Amino acid sequence: MSIQGQCHCRNISYQLEWPHNLDVIPCRACSCSFCTVHGASYTSHPKASLSVGIRVAEEHSIYRFGTETADFHVCSRCGCVPFVTCEIDGQVYAVVNTKTFGSIENYPLEESTADFGNEDVSVRLARRKKFWIPNVSIDIPTQPSAPPRTVE
């Protein structure tokens, strides 16, 4: 299935191609301090692919903390975090925040909680390599940006 999502002001939008033979989308409410304050709940699948489009590059920022191995992609206009990436051996892996799915009620989400706080870095990276989305494209404009769209 194909899932469209975006941040609240639509500066960051994405299309997630989810393996069609799966009838649930498992997601994890991460218990780290950052994800708790954002209420984020992530999903990923090694056979999924993610294509991200960013309208205004200046209003996209990356936040890192803790082990600094993950890039939290934050819309600096509306504050949402639609996805997170991690680069391992030159390859970009991603997880998507299901709270930013368009029409979230339409998808068979199955939420659990996860606490990865005690994982060491090598275990963490190995887990991401195995479970995160390995096909990721991020389109950031290099041209002067279009004026931001009005939020309704």
Closer Cβ to Zn ion, 7 or 52, answer by number: 7
First to last CA, the chain: 28
Instruction: CB nearer to Zn ion: give 121 or 140.
Output: 140
Region from 10-18, 31-39, 40-48, 84-92 binding Zn ion, contact rule CB under 5 A: 10-18
Q: Of 43-102, which residues contact Zn ion (CB under 5 A)?
A: 75, 77-78
**Nearest to Zn ion of 19, 79 (CB atom):** 79
State the number of binding residues for Zn ion (CB under 5 A): 6
CB of 6 to Zn ion, least distance (A): 8
Stretch that binds Zn ion, among 9-17, 89-97, 124-132, 139-147 (CB under 5 A): 9-17
Q: Which residues fall within 8 angstroms of residue 123, CB to CB, at 6 or more apart?
A: none
Q: Are 109 and 36 in contact (CB under 8 A)?
A: no
Distance, in Å, from the CA atom of 132 to the CA atom of 93, rounded to the nearest integer, reads: 6
Q: Are strands 109-114 and 25-30 parallel, antiparallel or unpaired?
A: parallel
Indicate the SS3 state at residue 109: strand
